[in-house]
Amino acid sequence: MRFLCITVLCLAAVLAALPARSQSPAIPMFWDEKERIAKPDVSTLERLRFLTTTDFAPFNFLDGSGRLSGFHVDLARAICKELKIIDRCQIQALPWAELETALADRQGEAIIAGVAITAESRSKHAFTRPYLSFPARFVVAKGSSLADPLHAALAGKRVGTIAGSSHERMLRAYFPEAKAVTYSRADWMFGDLRSSKVDAVFGDGMRLGFWLAEPTGAGCCKFLGGPYLAPEFLGQGLAIAVRPEDADLARAFDFALREIGVKGIFAELYLRYFPVGFF
C-alpha cells in the first residue's frame, strides 16, 4: 500500500507538471483545453474590486516606485481584461488581518491574496478553482549521483527539511526509507547541502526555486524529481475568494482563468515572476 501511495503521488506530480505548450521550464496548467465553461454575463457588475496585501512578494508587493505590483496584481488585471470590464476593475491593498472583514463589509468583491481553502474558510467564502499550487521538490548538488525513481534512490540517504513543517511530515510519510535531517533555519540546511553533509533537501518548490536563482544556489545545486503534489499535506493551492452569495462571480473568474491559461497569458505571468520554475 505504501508503494502504491508513492506511485500515485509521483504520477500526480508528472501529470500536473505537463505544460500546455512546449516550453521550458514547465508551466503548470490547471485547466483542460477541451473543457468548456459558460461565458458569464457581468454586464450588471458596477465594480470589481480585488482586495490584496503588500507583503507577499512576488505575489503582491510595492515596487521601487511605491506602486502595487506582483503576480496577483497582474493576474487580477488579466481577469478583468478577459471579462471585458477593465474600466470597472480596481485593486486595493489592505493589511492581511483586514481582508475578510473588508470583503464581508462589501469594500471589495474578491480577495486575491492566498486565502487557504479549508473547511472553515469555505463556511465564509466561495472560491474559484485553484489557479496555482505549491509542489514539494527535492534539490541536490549538481554532481549528485541520485536519480529517479527517488523513492528507491533515497533509501538510507540524508535529506534535509525544515523541522515541524508539512514538508517534513510529507517526507517521512512518502519517503520513509530516507533519513530525515531537520533544521530550524533554511540557510543552515542549504549550507549543509553545499558541503555534502546532506544528500538532498526537500521543501517548498517555490522557495527552493528562488534559492536556486541566487548565486549560491545556482552555482551548486538543481531540482531533481517531482514536482510532488499532495493536498493532504500542502493544501489545495491558491484560489480567489468571494462572498458566499457571489458564487456566480467565482464561476465568472473560473471562465476567465481558463481562458488566461489556454491562451498562454498565465504562462507569461508565471515566467515573469518565477524565472526558475518550480514545476
Domain span at residue 228 reads 136-234
pLDDT over 80 (residue 7) = no
What is the average per-residue pLDDT within 64-84? Answer: 97
Looking at the structure, tell me whether residues 222 and 260 fall in a common domain.
no
Tell me the pTM: 0.85
* Cβ neighbours for 243, distance < 8 A, ≥ 6 positions apart: 103, 104, 106, 109, 125, 126
What is the average per-residue pLDDT within 183-197? Answer: 97
Number of domains into which the chain is organized: 2
Looking at the structure, tell me whether residues 230 and 243 fall in a common domain.
no
Mean per-residue pLDDT over the chain, rounded: 90
Looking at the structure, tell me whether residues 228 and 248 fall in a common domain.
no
N-term to C-term CA, the chain: 26
> Would you state the pLDDT for residue 24?
62
- Asked if residue 19 belongs to a domain, the reply is no
Which has more pLDDT, 275 or 257?
A: 257
> Would you state the pLDDT for residue 36?
86
